[in-house]
Amino acid sequence: MDKISSLYIHIPFCNNICSYCDFCKVIYNKDWIKPYFEKLKEEIDNAYMGEELKTIYIGGGTPTCLSIKELKELFKIIKSLKFSKDIEFTIEANINDLEEEKLKFLYAEGVNRLSIGIESFNRDKLKFMKRTSDFKDAKNKIDLARKIGFNNINIDLMYAIPNENIKVLQKDLKLFLKLQPDHISTYSLMIEKNTLVGLNKVKPIEEDRDAKMYELICKTLKKAGFIHYEVSNFAKKGKESKHNLVYWNNEEYYGFGCGASGYVAAIRYENTKSLTEYLKGNFISSKSLMSKVDNMENELILGLRKLEGVSLTKFFDKYEENMQNVFPLKPLIKSGELIYKDDYIYINPKKLYVMNEILIKLI
């Protein structure tokens, strides 16, 4: 069994709640920070086995809504972890929080990748999302981050918002590219029932328009020199997210914090989403031991999110099973939904938009 080399930390605090967000989050309250960090330290001390880490990802919530004083407390906890020399260390950020002092602090602490939730510059989209973004401000902050030394910056783009049309998306893409990011993550609006959007019974846009938007994103970003390496993710060469590839390669990782999930010693676990429970020390809400069949299914479901797909040889080395004997690949290769080339099975790029339907046929 390979040693675990990736770790995720969840910071559930936000200065405001976006209308579509289904992640574990609460409005920032300074009185909760100290007790939260005490429990986070306890959880890490109890579970982390001292492995050298190749990736760390601090997500949320909005980790950068913390003050510098609070971030210092968080990084005291992180200092107990072992870093590899070439670690990819990501923190999620809101553009409004990225002041010079905070950026300098994060860089000095070893953070070398920023993942910035911008989502859009369109006024109507931002109003719908209950967010604020200003292009000039974003450009200044990203330029500042580069000047400080950050050379791996992701920005998030959300699309398929009700009433959004192709022209709105085209403009967003144009402005996003002007920011010269190294990586772009794209998200089609998902309407989750326990969000403001879900409670307001917002209807998703029609599939045809969603598909056209996805096609536009793929074409535009490819033309701009981005590699489309995962269904929703695009990177400049060498800037693919190493941390997220751990998930898509079905490798084990630690997950700490309220609402985090992890995969350790063949057990997948979910932490409680209740801050009250977490602060009581009741960290894990559910866990399940993965059987060989579970693992093989996950290998395929997660691996087919990558455009390179899944290697038959690596699959056999891992499970001592021929993938073609385990899953009904041949009919889907015959129908052109899957492609088999140079040892890899992958989803036909023209069919990526309906990948869920293809996965249902496989599993």
**Which of helix, strand or coil describes residue 294?**
helix
141-184 pLDDT, tens digit each: 999 999 999 999 999 999 999 989 999 999 999 999 999 999 99
Dist. CA 352–CA 363, nearest whole Å: 17
User: What average pLDDT does this structure show over 262-291?
Assistant: 97
Given this model, what pLDDT does residue 14 score? Answer: 86
Band (pLDDT 50/70/90 cuts) for residue 253 is very high
Dist. CA 40–CA 278, nearest whole Å: 9
Dist. CA 102–CA 90, nearest whole Å: 14
Given this model, what pLDDT does residue 23 score? Answer: 72
User: What average pLDDT does this structure show over 70-87?
Assistant: 97
User: What average pLDDT does this structure show over 265-274?
Assistant: 96
Dist. CA 206–CA 127, nearest whole Å: 21
Rounded (to 5) percent helix, strand, coil in the chain: 45, 25, 35
Band (pLDDT 50/70/90 cuts) for residue 39 is very high
User: Residue 169 in contact with residue 217, Cβ under 8 Å?
Assistant: yes
User: What average pLDDT does this structure show over 233-260?
Assistant: 97
Mean pLDDT (the chain, rounded): 94
- The set of residues, in sequence order, having a beta carbon less than 8 Å from that of 6 and lying 6+ positions away, is 53, 54, 55, 56, 57, 243, 246, 251, 253, 254
Band (pLDDT 50/70/90 cuts) for residue 140 is very high
pLDDT beyond 60 at 1: no
Structural class in CATH, domain 6-248 = alpha beta
**Which of helix, strand or coil describes residue 38?**
helix
User: What average pLDDT does this structure show over 15-37?
Assistant: 83
Domain range summary for the chain, segments of one domain joined by +: 6-248, 304-363
User: Residue 33 in contact with residue 70, Cβ under 8 Å?
Assistant: yes
> Which residues lie across from 51 on neighbouring strands?
none
Given this model, what pLDDT does residue 131 score? Answer: 87
- Pick the range with the lowest mean pLDDT from 15-24, 39-48, 266-275, 304-313: 15-24
Per cent of the chain over pLDDT 70 is: 98
Band (pLDDT 50/70/90 cuts) for residue 207 is confident
User: Residue 83 in contact with residue 108, Cβ under 8 Å?
Assistant: no
Given this model, what pLDDT does residue 296 score? Answer: 96
Band (pLDDT 50/70/90 cuts) for residue 330 is very high
pLDDT beyond 80 at 195: no
pTM of the model: 0.94
Band (pLDDT 50/70/90 cuts) for residue 193 is confident
Band (pLDDT 50/70/90 cuts) for residue 21 is low
- The set of residues, in sequence order, having a beta carbon less than 8 Å from that of 206 and lying 6+ positions away, is none
Band (pLDDT 50/70/90 cuts) for residue 194 is confident
